[in-house]
């Protein structure tokens, strides 16, 4: 990117992922300043969003509700300033795990078997066996995630997951390797494999240094790599994604991929997973941030 721009980074926000968002935003702002851009950092108030004068592009470093669910995108649209990442509809679709799964199924993208609950009084569904996973429908960063290994624990764990929203999706727990696929400008980046040193890839293991190992490019054969990347791109297109995202994919022992979810505003610290994948193809962190702004700027009003 040759032109020096005035860029506003939106960070923080009101969601359960605020602290992660503050880290993402600070890293992005530092990277963009290192390339000579004028960068404003704004912690937005929902419903009262105001951009500094002269803003030529908005970098969304928000995660979770408000930032990733289409709300801030809808507030930005009337301002006519291009912003990074997916638009209103795709953000809304991807943030709702049930909508994502239904759109994946309609598009022939493999996803885990699931059932939906909206009451703590719900009983164990007929025909299901443990282990299963409970996830709030509209949260990210493993917020509210519960692993159920015994049916008798289900009522307590369902109630805990429901604390983070009025609806919970229960999925079969896929046994296999946990991966994530970054997508940049319509291309799948090298696969990152995630291996927690103990337990599952929950909020603690995700954000505590040293608790998880990452391998990129992940060691899969060529055919399996292609299947995983095709599934990730299929999910990205199924929700109407644009510019970039990160798709979480489980890989069964037979090499078959199962899409878990699409993250439209993934973590953006220098050690986050999408930047790791970009680095594997020679795109450093500052260049990645600039590329994201470039993609947004293509939507700038002409004149």
Question: Going edge to edge, which strands form the sheet with 114-117?
Answer: 114-117, 168-172, 132-136, 146-148
Q: Provide the annotated active-site residues.
A: 17, 141, 207, 246, 248, 261, 263, 267
Question: Going edge to edge, which strands form the sheet with 38-42?
Answer: 38-42, 6-10, 57-60
Q: Cα–Cα distance between 261 and 292 in angstroms, integer?
A: 21
Q: Cα–Cα distance between 26 and 119 in angstroms, integer?
A: 38
Q: Choose among 135, 138, 258: nearest CA to 200.
A: 135
Cβ atoms of 216 and 191 within 8 Å: the answer is: yes
Q: How far is CA 183 from CA 9, 16, 240, 283, in A?
A: 21, 25, 13, 13
Partnered with residue 135 across adjacent β-strands are 169
Cβ atoms of 47 and 83 within 8 Å: the answer is: no
Torsion angle (degrees, nearest 10) of CA 283, 63, 16, 40: 90
CB-CB neighbours of 53 under 10 Å: 7
């Amino acid at each position: 990117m040759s032109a020096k721009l005035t860029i506003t980074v939106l960070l923080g926000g009101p969601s359960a992922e605020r602290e992660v968002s503050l880290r993402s935003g600070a890293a992005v702002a530092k990277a963009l300043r290192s390339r000579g851009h004028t960068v404003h950092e704004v912690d937005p108030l929902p419903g009262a969003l105001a951009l500094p004068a002269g803003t030529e592009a908005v970098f969304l470093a928000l995660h979770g509700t408000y930032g990733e669910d289409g709300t801030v995108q809808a507030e930005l649209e009337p301002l006519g300033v291009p912003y990074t990442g997916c638009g209103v509809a795709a953000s809304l679709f991807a943030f709702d795990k049930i909508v994502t799964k239904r759109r994946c199924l309609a598009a022939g993208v493999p996803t885990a078997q699931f059932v939906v609950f909206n009451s703590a009084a719900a009983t164990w569904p007929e025909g299901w066996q443990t282990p299963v996973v409970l996830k709030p429908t509209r949260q990210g960063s493993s917020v509210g995630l519960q692993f159920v290994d015994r049916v008798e624990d289900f009522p307590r764990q369902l109630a805990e997951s429901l604390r983070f929203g009025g609806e919970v999706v229960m999925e079969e727990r896929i046994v296999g390797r946990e991966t994530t696929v970054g997508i940049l400008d319509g291309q799948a980046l090298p696969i990152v494999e995630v291996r927690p040193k103990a337990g599952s890839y929950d909020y603690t293991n995700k954000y505590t240094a040293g608790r998880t190992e990452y391998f990129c490019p992940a060691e899969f054969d060529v055919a399996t790599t292609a299947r995983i990347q095709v599934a990730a791109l299929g999910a990205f297109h199924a929700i109407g994604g644009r510019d970039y995202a990160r798709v979480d994919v489980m890989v069964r022992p037979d090499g078959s991929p199962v899409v878990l979810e699409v993250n439209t505003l993934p973590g953006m610290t220098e050690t986050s997973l999408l930047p790791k994948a970009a680095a594997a193809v020679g795109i450093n962190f500052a260049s990645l941030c600039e590329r994201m702004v470039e993609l947004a700027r293509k939507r700038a009003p002409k004149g």
